[in-house]
Protein backbone atom coordinates (compact mmCIF):
# COMPACT_ATOMS: atom_id res chain seq x y z
CA UNK A 1 0.00 0.00 0.00
CA UNK A 2 2.93 2.34 0.66
CA UNK A 3 4.24 1.65 -2.84
CA UNK A 4 7.81 0.96 -1.73
CA UNK A 5 9.33 -2.48 -2.48
CA UNK A 6 11.93 -1.96 0.27
CA UNK A 7 9.03 -2.18 2.74
CA UNK A 8 8.36 -5.70 1.45
CA UNK A 9 12.01 -6.59 2.13
CA UNK A 10 11.68 -5.26 5.68
CA UNK A 11 8.44 -7.18 6.17
CA UNK A 12 10.12 -10.39 5.02
CA UNK A 13 13.13 -9.73 7.26
CA UNK A 14 11.01 -9.10 10.37
CA UNK A 15 8.84 -12.14 9.59
CA UNK A 16 11.90 -14.38 9.35
CA UNK A 17 13.54 -13.03 12.50
CA UNK A 18 10.36 -13.29 14.56
CA UNK A 19 9.63 -16.78 13.23
CA UNK A 20 13.13 -18.06 13.93
CA UNK A 21 12.95 -16.61 17.44
CA UNK A 22 10.08 -19.01 18.22
CA UNK A 23 11.59 -21.97 16.35
CA UNK A 24 9.84 -21.69 12.98
CA UNK A 25 12.04 -21.99 9.87
CA UNK A 26 9.51 -22.30 7.04
CA UNK A 27 7.51 -19.19 6.10
CA UNK A 28 4.43 -19.86 3.92
CA UNK A 29 4.67 -16.44 2.27
CA UNK A 30 4.66 -14.35 0.13
CA UNK A 31 1.38 -14.63 -1.70
CA UNK A 32 2.54 -14.36 -5.32
CA UNK A 33 -0.88 -14.25 -6.96
CA UNK A 34 -1.95 -11.32 -9.14
CA UNK A 35 -5.26 -9.89 -7.90
CA UNK A 36 -6.85 -9.67 -11.34
CA UNK A 37 -10.43 -10.74 -10.56
CA UNK A 38 -12.52 -8.36 -8.42
CA UNK A 39 -14.84 -11.28 -7.60
CA UNK A 40 -12.07 -13.29 -5.94
CA UNK A 41 -13.26 -14.25 -2.44
CA UNK A 42 -9.98 -15.61 -1.08
CA UNK A 43 -6.94 -13.78 -2.53
CA UNK A 44 -7.91 -10.07 -2.84
CA UNK A 45 -5.88 -8.14 -0.20
CA UNK A 46 -3.47 -11.04 0.31
CA UNK A 47 -1.99 -10.13 -3.08
CA UNK A 48 0.54 -7.33 -3.65
CA UNK A 49 -1.75 -5.92 -6.36
CA UNK A 50 -3.16 -6.06 -9.87
CA UNK A 51 -0.05 -5.36 -11.97
CA UNK A 52 2.01 -8.55 -12.53
CA UNK A 53 5.31 -6.64 -12.83
CA UNK A 54 4.61 -4.75 -9.61
CA UNK A 55 3.60 -7.93 -7.80
CA UNK A 56 6.78 -9.60 -9.06
CA UNK A 57 8.91 -6.76 -7.65
CA UNK A 58 7.34 -6.94 -4.18
CA UNK A 59 7.42 -10.75 -4.15
CA UNK A 60 11.16 -10.78 -4.91
CA UNK A 61 11.90 -8.26 -2.16
CA UNK A 62 9.86 -10.13 0.46
CA UNK A 63 11.63 -13.37 -0.48
CA UNK A 64 15.06 -11.78 -0.14
CA UNK A 65 14.04 -10.35 3.22
CA UNK A 66 13.08 -13.80 4.47
CA UNK A 67 15.91 -15.82 2.99
CA UNK A 68 18.70 -13.37 3.89
CA UNK A 69 17.57 -13.60 7.51
CA UNK A 70 17.42 -17.32 8.09
CA UNK A 71 13.95 -18.24 6.86
CA UNK A 72 12.67 -20.40 4.00
CA UNK A 73 10.23 -18.36 1.90
CA UNK A 74 7.34 -19.84 -0.09
CA UNK A 75 5.81 -18.34 -3.24
CA UNK A 76 2.15 -19.35 -3.52
CA UNK A 77 -0.30 -20.46 -4.98
CA UNK A 78 1.34 -21.85 -8.12
CA UNK A 79 0.56 -21.32 -10.96
CA UNK A 80 -1.65 -18.40 -9.82
CA UNK A 81 -4.88 -18.15 -7.80
CA UNK A 82 -5.79 -14.56 -8.67
CA UNK A 83 -8.33 -14.98 -11.45
CA UNK A 84 -10.95 -17.07 -9.66
CA UNK A 85 -14.38 -16.30 -8.27
CA UNK A 86 -14.34 -19.46 -6.14
CA UNK A 87 -12.58 -20.40 -2.90
CA UNK A 88 -10.33 -23.48 -3.13
CA UNK A 89 -10.99 -24.16 0.57
CA UNK A 90 -14.51 -25.15 -0.52
CA UNK A 91 -14.33 -26.43 -4.11
CA UNK A 92 -12.04 -26.55 -7.17
CA UNK A 93 -11.79 -23.12 -8.87
CA UNK A 94 -11.17 -22.98 -12.62
CA UNK A 95 -8.57 -20.67 -14.22
CA UNK A 96 -9.72 -20.28 -17.83
CA UNK A 97 -6.68 -18.37 -19.11
CA UNK A 98 -4.80 -19.70 -22.15
CA UNK A 99 -1.07 -20.46 -22.00
CA UNK A 100 -0.12 -17.06 -23.42
CA UNK A 101 -2.14 -15.18 -20.80
CA UNK A 102 -0.69 -17.37 -18.03
CA UNK A 103 2.80 -16.59 -19.31
CA UNK A 104 2.29 -12.81 -19.32
CA UNK A 105 0.25 -12.53 -16.13
CA UNK A 106 -0.02 -15.38 -13.62
CA UNK A 107 3.50 -16.75 -14.04
CA UNK A 108 5.31 -13.40 -13.94
CA UNK A 109 5.63 -13.22 -10.11
CA UNK A 110 6.63 -16.89 -9.90
CA UNK A 111 9.44 -16.39 -12.41
CA UNK A 112 10.54 -13.43 -10.29
CA UNK A 113 10.39 -15.56 -7.13
CA UNK A 114 12.55 -18.26 -8.71
CA UNK A 115 15.04 -15.65 -9.93
CA UNK A 116 15.17 -14.26 -6.38
CA UNK A 117 16.15 -17.70 -5.08
CA UNK A 118 12.90 -18.67 -3.34
CA UNK A 119 13.38 -21.88 -1.35
CA UNK A 120 9.90 -23.32 -1.83
CA UNK A 121 6.76 -22.95 -3.92
CA UNK A 122 3.26 -23.87 -2.77
CA UNK A 123 0.77 -25.36 -5.21
CA UNK A 124 -2.76 -24.13 -5.76
CA UNK A 125 -5.81 -26.41 -5.81
CA UNK A 126 -6.84 -25.04 -9.21
CA UNK A 127 -8.25 -26.52 -12.39
CA UNK A 128 -6.33 -25.03 -15.32
CA UNK A 129 -7.55 -26.48 -18.65
CA UNK A 130 -4.70 -24.85 -20.61
CA UNK A 131 -2.20 -26.89 -18.60
CA UNK A 132 -4.15 -29.92 -17.33
CA UNK A 133 -6.91 -31.32 -19.57
CA UNK A 134 -8.60 -33.40 -16.84
CA UNK A 135 -11.14 -31.02 -15.22
CA UNK A 136 -11.06 -32.96 -11.94
CA UNK A 137 -7.27 -32.82 -11.49
CA UNK A 138 -6.12 -29.76 -9.54
CA UNK A 139 -2.66 -28.31 -10.20
CA UNK A 140 -1.54 -29.85 -6.88
CA UNK A 141 -2.04 -33.34 -8.35
CA UNK A 142 -0.93 -32.55 -11.91
CA UNK A 143 2.42 -33.69 -13.32
CA UNK A 144 1.82 -31.28 -16.22
CA UNK A 145 1.88 -28.38 -13.77
CA UNK A 146 4.36 -29.41 -11.06
CA UNK A 147 6.92 -31.30 -13.13
CA UNK A 148 6.54 -30.24 -16.77
CA UNK A 149 5.92 -26.54 -16.08
CA UNK A 150 7.48 -25.77 -12.69
CA UNK A 151 10.51 -28.06 -12.81
CA UNK A 152 11.28 -28.53 -16.49
CA UNK A 153 10.15 -25.22 -18.00
CA UNK A 154 10.72 -22.74 -15.15
CA UNK A 155 13.76 -24.65 -13.80
CA UNK A 156 12.68 -24.46 -10.15
CA UNK A 157 14.97 -26.61 -8.00
CA UNK A 158 13.63 -25.91 -4.51
CA UNK A 159 10.92 -27.61 -2.44
CA UNK A 160 7.40 -28.04 -3.77
CA UNK A 161 4.81 -28.06 -0.99
CA UNK A 162 1.10 -28.57 -1.50
CA UNK A 163 -1.53 -26.19 -0.26
CA UNK A 164 -3.46 -27.74 2.63
CA UNK A 165 -4.66 -31.18 1.53
CA UNK A 166 -7.77 -30.90 3.73
CA UNK A 167 -9.23 -28.20 1.45
CA UNK A 168 -12.30 -28.82 -0.67
CA UNK A 169 -10.36 -28.32 -3.91
CA UNK A 170 -8.89 -31.78 -3.25
CA UNK A 171 -11.19 -33.56 -0.77
CA UNK A 172 -14.33 -33.19 -2.91
CA UNK A 173 -12.71 -35.38 -5.57
CA UNK A 174 -10.08 -37.64 -3.97
CA UNK A 175 -9.76 -39.82 -0.88
CA UNK A 176 -6.91 -38.83 1.48
CA UNK A 177 -4.60 -41.73 0.54
CA UNK A 178 -5.08 -41.38 -3.20
CA UNK A 179 -4.61 -37.60 -3.04
CA UNK A 180 -1.31 -38.00 -1.17
CA UNK A 181 0.08 -40.45 -3.72
CA UNK A 182 -1.10 -38.37 -6.67
CA UNK A 183 0.53 -35.22 -5.27
CA UNK A 184 3.90 -36.94 -4.81
CA UNK A 185 3.69 -38.53 -8.27
CA UNK A 186 2.92 -35.09 -9.73
CA UNK A 187 6.08 -33.64 -8.19
CA UNK A 188 5.28 -32.46 -4.65
CA UNK A 189 8.01 -32.87 -2.02
CA UNK A 190 5.88 -32.15 1.04
CA UNK A 191 2.18 -32.60 1.81
CA UNK A 192 0.61 -29.88 3.96
CA UNK A 193 -2.16 -30.95 6.36
CA UNK A 194 -3.41 -34.22 4.86
CA UNK A 195 -6.91 -34.69 6.39
CA UNK A 196 -6.09 -38.24 7.53
CA UNK A 197 -2.31 -38.36 8.11
CA UNK A 198 -2.26 -42.12 8.72
CA UNK A 199 -4.06 -42.76 5.43
CA UNK A 200 -1.63 -40.54 3.54
CA UNK A 201 1.38 -42.23 5.17
CA UNK A 202 0.12 -45.77 4.55
CA UNK A 203 -0.89 -45.01 0.95
CA UNK A 204 2.56 -43.54 0.22
CA UNK A 205 4.29 -46.55 1.81
CA UNK A 206 2.17 -48.92 -0.29
CA UNK A 207 2.85 -46.86 -3.43
CA UNK A 208 6.62 -47.01 -2.86
CA UNK A 209 6.49 -50.76 -2.25
CA UNK A 210 4.49 -51.30 -5.45
CA UNK A 211 6.90 -49.22 -7.50
Question: Residue 64 — φ and ψ, nearest 5°?
Answer: -60, -40
Contact 154, 73 (CB under 8 A): no
- Cβ-proximal residues to 53 (8 Å cutoff; 6+ apart), any chain: 108
Is 89 a catalytic site residue?
Answer: yes
From the list 7, 51, 89, 166, the catalytic residue is 89
CA dist., res. 166 & res. 7, Å (int)? 33
The closest alpha carbon to 49, from 60, 59, 34, 61, belongs to 34
What is the DSSP secondary-structure string of 58-94?
A: HHHHHHHHHHTTT-B-EEEEET--SS-SS-TTTS--B
Angstrom distance (rounded) from CA 18 to CA 25: 10
**Nearest to residue 95, comparing CAs of 76, 79, 74, 114?**
79
- Give DSSP secondary structure letters for 109-123: HHHHHHHTT-SEEEE
Active site residue ranges: 89, 163
Amino acid sequence: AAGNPSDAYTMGKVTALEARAVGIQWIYAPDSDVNNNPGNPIINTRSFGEDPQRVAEFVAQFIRGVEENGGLATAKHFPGHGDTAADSHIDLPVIRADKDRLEHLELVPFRSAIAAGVGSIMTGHLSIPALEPDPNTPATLSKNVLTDLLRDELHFEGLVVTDAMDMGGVTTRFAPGEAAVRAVLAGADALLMPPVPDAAFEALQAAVKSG
